[in-house]
Structure 1
Amino acid sequence: MNEEISIKEGVDISVSVVLDKIKGALQGVERVVSSRSTLPILNNVLIRTSKNGVEVMATDLEIGLRFFLGGKVEREGVITVPGRTLVSLVNSLHGDTLSLESKGNILQVSCGETRASINGMPADDFPVIPEVEGGKVVKVKSEQFKNLLSQVDFAASGEDSRPVLTGVYLIYDGGTLTAVATDSYRLSEAMAKDKLGEDFNVIIPARTLQEVRRLVGEAAEFELRIGENQIMVITDSATLVSRIIEGEYPNYKQIIPPTSETTIEMDVQEFSDAIKTAAIFSMEGSNTVRLNVAASGLVEVVSESSQVGNFTSKLKAEVKGPGGEISFNAKYLLDGMNSFDTPRFTLGMTGKTAAGVFRPSGVEDRLYLVMPLRS
């Protein structure tokens, strides 16, 4: 499974596989099948049979995914067919076994009493999904890694103007794995203790890591290879290869306020409910909600719009400090609350212009920083 793909043109395949297994593989590679590429071959899934079983793969030149599954191989070969068509067909089938047989560039699909033929293309133009040789190799605990990513990847930028911000910055240093993401308006950081060996730092596209979260599934651990320009994720049944984002990640530590004049502790669910409702009344486009914090232990959640109306909700809180007012983007607040796994959270604030620092209560290795809006 780790050998570089060698593609031979004009060799027909014949194989029978477990239907549920190939459904899972096709659903996995479908997410990286390109739908807008000027290269028709990137719209296709490659199927290769060998004495060891079946490989199903796809790439959009940013991410390459390869699944391996067992099967009864009668003829070794390779073909590519439109990914969306094949996935839609296979998902509609019911039974135990699926048979695939190619004749030239036609793939014949059989399941029970159902037959279909799909027009394919020769595989010789299909891009090679490379191996990542050398570099650093670490074994990563799947559940811990998925949990770490879920706390930060939503804060990565969706804009390509600053490529490094579209990724998640992973740093392993002194036994601590840190994940960071920011779009310059908010920043999320999460840390976990682990023994991964040699220190490293790398910027991986957030989209890639979303695929990694799906790929590793219920596996206890996976292998991560970090090369000069690419990373490779290896599980028992699949391999993912992705580019690394080049460039220097911003020195994010310098924007985290070292202290706060006022600290608030509140219930996550109560606060989330109030913010969701306030967003209905916030000004169009800005999505602004204002927090009026009283030192006596009361937080007002306020929003208003000249077209819709206004909203105020008063919530009980533990307040240490003078209080004050500060405004945020409601969506950013909800994203943060959704990433917390504690019933309560804290907010550190210093006036209305400094960033607000949110943390799950009692958790020191996690923070979510949000820049305020002018109210």
Structure 2
Amino acid sequence: MELIIDKSDLQNVLKKAISATEKKSALPILSNFLLEAKEDKLTVQGTDLEVHVSVSVFAKVEQEGVACVNAKKLTDISRLLPSSEVYIKLEDNKLKIKSGKSRYNLPVSPAEDFPNLYPFPEENAFVISGENLQKAILKTLYATSKEESRFALQGVLFKSLDGTIDVVATDGHRLALYTIDRTGTGDINIIVPQKALNELKRLLTGLEDVEVAATDQYVFFRTKEWILMSRLLEGAFPDYTQVIPKEFSREIKVNKKEFLDAVKRVSAVIEGDTKPLKLTLKPEVLELKSASPEYGEAIDELSIEYSDEEFTIGFNAKYIIEAVDVIDSEEVIIKFTNPNAQTLFVPSDENDRYKAIVMPMEIT
């Protein structure tokens, strides 16, 4: 293997691949990159056996080949190189790196020991926009479960419908749904782990189209520059369509920033998640109130259009903040059923396909 590559290109490709590697593992090979020089590209792979990332970048390849080298050391070195041009060569079982007057000789591991990236299942593929995929991750990942016992809820559901994909997350107390368009006939009904989606966030620029496909055990996301393969989570995901109410007893519209600021101000006296934030709808007024024995009481008010009877409901303030924070529109519509049932938060823009459900807390 022998190639010449621009320093910034090398830094960029290593930065994208390193987070998929395993820093501390019983398998030392997982702390390595697999480098492959072929045609006019350098491809860098990293994996922890759960998520596998492969990123390619242009390089002037003098001799094709592969090398397996410590990921952290190579990444650290790439940040320190003095010249914009980097020369890399595999020779005498060492990866030799030259840049300006700097020279490095790094030990390599057997490339054949590096885990395989499985072939992309072309027959099951469909295409979604990178921008929409970015939004889907941002608008749902916060609602995944942090409880290890709820294995299926630790990931995000991707479910294909006619021409669209529903992207859904829930922890049993709240639910986030974002619907995106797709082209192609491949169908999926899979649960993608949080780590894979966090890796996707790092890879996506928002400008590219992304091919998506899945097998029984793996999901694949592919662009011209990179591929991400991830193991799927097993288990049954709840029927989210049954969680979203069909009818509501009342609704209000609030300015997103004003509402979030008021929630944060009032929840300042709440310690932990044990005390609810109370929302009370009164004619022309939304009252926000919280109290705790240790830190006292806080009350705030917002002007709203509302003329129905008084209505009070309690929520975990953190759940409201996270549900509303990812809404893009300036105004938010809040739809209520009753004080003991789930509440819907949606953007005022009817073309926005985001929905958030938050279960109420008991008011004492």
**Both structures adopt the same fold (TM-score exceeding 0.5):** yes
- The runs of 5 or more residues in structure 2 that have no matched partner are none
1:34 to 11, 17, 22: 22
Counterparts of 1:1-375 in structure 2 under 5 Å? 13-133=1-121, 135-286=123-274, 288-294=276-282, 296-319=283-306, 321-363=308-350, 365-375=353-363
Contact in 1 for aligned 2:20/2:53 (Cα 8 Å): yes
Deviates most, 343-352 or 264-273: 343-352
Contact in 1 for aligned 2:128/2:180 (Cα 8 Å): no
Contact in 1 for aligned 2:273/2:316 (Cα 8 Å): no
Counterpart CA distance in 2 for 1:356 and 1:27 is 41
How far is 1:359 from its partner?
1.0
**Counterpart residue type for residue 177 of structure 2:** E
Q: Provide, for residues 188-207 of structure 1, a one-character-per-residue CA deviation record: whole Å limited to 9, x for no partner.
A: 11223444334432222233
SS at match of 1:211: helix
How far is 1:142 from its partner?
1.7
Counterpart CA distance in 2 for 1:117 and 1:293 is 69
1:30 and 1:266, CA in 2 relative to 1: closer, same or farther beyond 3 A?
Answer: same
SS at match of 1:233: strand
**Counterpart residue type for residue 304 of structure 2:** A
Q: Provide, for residues 83-137 of structure 1, a one-character-per-residue CA deviation record: whole Å limited to 9, x for no partner.
A: 1222122123353211223344533322222333334322232111111335511
SS at match of 2:306: strand
Equivalent in the alignment of 1:3 = none
SS at match of 1:179: strand
Q: Provide, for residues 12-65 of structure 1, a one-character-per-residue CA deviation record: whole Å limited to 9, x for no partner.
A: x32211111111110111111112322111111111223443221110101111
Counterpart CA distance in 1 for 2:188 and 2:95 is 45
Q: Provide, for residues 137-184 of structure 1, a one-character-per-residue CA deviation record: whole Å limited to 9, x for no partner.
A: 112222222223322222122333222212221222222322111111
Contact in 1 for aligned 2:127/2:182 (Cα 8 Å): no
Counterpart CA distance in 1 for 2:335 and 2:34 is 52
Counterpart CA distance in 2 for 1:248 and 1:329 is 26
SS at match of 2:340: coil
**Counterpart residue type for residue 332 of structure 1:** Y
Count of aligned residue pairs for this structure pair: 362
Counterpart CA distance in 2 for 1:28 and 1:123 is 20
- The runs of 5 or more residues in structure 1 that have no matched partner are 1-12
SS at match of 2:297: strand
How far is 1:324 from its partner?
1.8
How far is 1:280 from its partner?
1.9
Which TM-score applies when normalising by structure 2? 0.91
Contact in 1 for aligned 2:43/2:56 (Cα 8 Å): yes
Contact in 1 for aligned 2:123/2:186 (Cα 8 Å): no
**Counterpart residue type for residue 337 of structure 1:** V
Counterpart CA distance in 2 for 1:341 and 1:178 is 18
Counterpart CA distance in 2 for 1:320 and 1:95 is 69
Deviates most, 153-162 or 22-31: 153-162
Counterpart CA distance in 2 for 1:31 and 1:320 is 53
How far is 1:331 from its partner?
1.5
CA RMSD of aligned residues (A): 2.2
How far is 1:259 from its partner?
1.9
Contact in 2 for aligned 1:266/1:317 (Cα 8 Å): yes
